[in-house]
Amino acid sequence: MLTLSKVDSFYGRSQALHGVSAAARDGTIMAVLGRNGVGKTTLLRTILGLTDRSQGAIALDGEEIGGLATHARARAGIAYVPQGRMIIPDFTIRENILMGGFAAGGARRIPEIVPVLFPYLMENLDRPGGVLSGGQQQQLAIARALACEPKVLLMDEPTEGIQPNIVEQIENSIIRLNTELGLTILLVEQNVGFARRAAQDFVMLENGRSVASGPIDTLTDDTVAKHMAI
């Protein structure tokens, strides 16, 4: 579904990714692992065209998208749940969700899966997004991304900074998006246990390079210790 081949990415004159190759198979979750600051967020931003420039090939469903503008990549079928959520606090829950539909360029509506996964949002559509808890804002960020009707969902540490009683709900919703909707997901995650439970494949980054990849059941404790231990 989404393939990267020898991708370099830059912020100004600083190179952040070095020859990264990876492939997320259709209908699977690929975990993007590594310590803080090794290029995981940059990888997602590069896929969306949000770094200053990139080189190499990025293909979505067999079509090269590396030369497209960010909005064109979104319309091609890529949605993003960023680290920090970035909801608009003065917009209502309804307005935040429907805003996601602008990226798709079609009719703006609340996806049918949203009330199933996040009933609280549907019960409070007219509340401002800014009054929600961190976990509720994360649910809102996911709902907004789903309004794009994406083929691929990029998620950047979706359980970071969320109250423990909602973490499991967020994790289970990610798995359901994959298993019930068949959504292909790139999941940046520090929780190796959740990555092993949710993902079918992984790629490990170190200093902007891919240092290990493959089926998730080949992710050994030694690899985790070598590339993720502090």
Q: Which is nearest to 18 in space by CA: 219, 189, 206, 156?
A: 206
106 & 198 share domain:
no
HSE, side-chain direction, 13 A CA sphere, residue 130: 4
229 & 162 share domain:
yes
139 & 199 share domain:
no
pLDDT digits (tens, 9 = 90+) for 43-55: 999 999 999 999 9
CA distance 183 to 2: 12
- State the burial class of residue 10 (Cβ atoms within 10 Å of its Cβ: 0-12, 13-18, 19+): middle
116 & 65 share domain:
no
What is the CATH classification number for the domain harbouring 210? 3.40.50.300
Q: Does any domain span residue 10?
A: no
Residues in the chain: 230
Sign of CA dihedral 162, 164, 169, 172: positive
Q: Does any domain span residue 114?
A: yes
Predicted local distance difference test score (pLDDT) of residue 136: 92
143 & 157 share domain:
no
Arithmetic mean of pLDDT, 143-171:
90
159 & 204 share domain:
yes
How many structural domains are present in the chain? 2
134 & 200 share domain:
no
Predicted local distance difference test score (pLDDT) of residue 103: 73
Predicted local distance difference test score (pLDDT) of residue 38: 94
Q: Does any domain span residue 123?
A: yes
pLDDT digits (tens, 9 = 90+) for 168-225: 899 999 999 999 999 999 999 989 999 999 999 999 999 999 999 999 999 999 999 9
68 & 158 share domain:
yes
- State the burial class of residue 73 (Cβ atoms within 10 Å of its Cβ: 0-12, 13-18, 19+): buried
Over the chain, what is the mean pLDDT? 92
Predicted local distance difference test score (pLDDT) of residue 159: 87
Distances (CA, A) of 189 to 95, 98, 185: 28, 27, 12
Q: Does any domain span residue 176?
A: no
Predicted local distance difference test score (pLDDT) of residue 106: 63
Arithmetic mean of pLDDT, 19-31:
96
Supply the range of the domain harboring residue 221. 22-41+61-77+153-171+183-230
The arrangement of strands across the sheet holding 63-64 comes to 14-24, 2-11, 53-60, 63-64
118 & 160 share domain:
no
pLDDT digits (tens, 9 = 90+) for 94-124: 999 998 887 766 667 888 899 999 999 999 9
227 & 164 share domain:
yes
Q: Does any domain span residue 201?
A: yes
Q: Does any domain span residue 111?
A: yes
69 & 162 share domain:
yes
- pLDDT band at 165, cuts 50/70/90? confident
CA triplet 45, 19, 224: central angle to 5 degrees? 80
Is 1 a residue whose pLDDT tops 90? Answer: no
- State the burial class of residue 62 (Cβ atoms within 10 Å of its Cβ: 0-12, 13-18, 19+): exposed
Quote the percentage of the chain above a pLDDT of 90: 80
